[in-house]
Amino acid sequence: MSAATTDTANPRKPYVRPISKTSWFLTSARYKSYMVHEVSSIFVALYMIQLVAGLFYLAAGPEEWESYLAFLRSPVVILLTLVGLVFFVIHTTSWFKAVPQATRIMRGEEVLPGKILVTAHYGIWAAVSLFVIILAWVA
């Protein structure tokens, strides 16, 4: 923001509380939890790259696919996967938490209570997860 530059030109020299541009979010629990779900995007991006690369390895043939699977078994990838899983679940729960603020469903004259919306999202999440697990299990 341009506040800092205009303040230096201000002859009244008002007090400007110093705020770090790089660590401001450490000052409150709300900011910290905001940053944790924003940082989840780093893991989403990494996983998307891994999956796009995987498609190319699959297209290349069985041997290439085998080397991709070996890469997935490497300790660094396993570690990133476990950390990423935590961030993915944080992304999911924080996203669901914000659903009532983002979605308003009218039922006649009343707004559908946010709690119902959030519960429905958790229900769908469980169903989708179970469906994917079953799909992978029978394959």
Partner 1 sequence: MAHSSRGSAKAIPWFLFAAGGTVTAFVLPVMLIVTNLGFFPSAMSYEGMSGFLSWWIVKLAVLGILTLGLWHAAHRLRVCAHDFGIRADELVAWIVYSAAGFGSVAAAVALLMI
Applying CB under 8 A, among 95, 114, 117, 118 the residue interacting with partner 1 is: 95
Output the smallest distance, CB 108 to partner 1, in A: 25
Q: Does 77 bind partner 1 (CB under 8 A)?
A: yes
| Nearest-10 Cα torsion for 21, 27, 28, 34 | 30
Q: What sign results for the dihedral spanned by CA atoms 112, 115, 119, 121?
A: positive
Shortest spacing between CB 136 and partner 1, in angstroms? 4
Burial class of residue 1, CB neighbours in 10 A (0-12, 13-18, 19+): exposed
Minimum CB separation from partner 1 for residue 8, in Å? 17
How far apart CA 44 and CA 79 sit, in angstroms, is 15
**Contact predicate 57/64, CB 8 Å:** yes
Strand residues in 15-117 grouped as ranges (E): 106-107, 110-111
Single out the residue of 7, 28, 32, 69 in contact with partner 1 (rule: CB under 8 A).
Answer: 69
The yes or no reply on residue 55 touching partner 1 (CB under 8 A) is yes
Q: Which residues form the interface with partner 1 (CB under 8 A)?
A: 20-22, 25, 35, 38-42, 44-45, 47-49, 51-52, 54-56, 58-59, 62, 65-66, 69, 72-73, 77-78, 81, 84-85, 88-89, 91-92, 95-96, 102, 121, 124-125, 128-129, 132-133, 135-137, 139
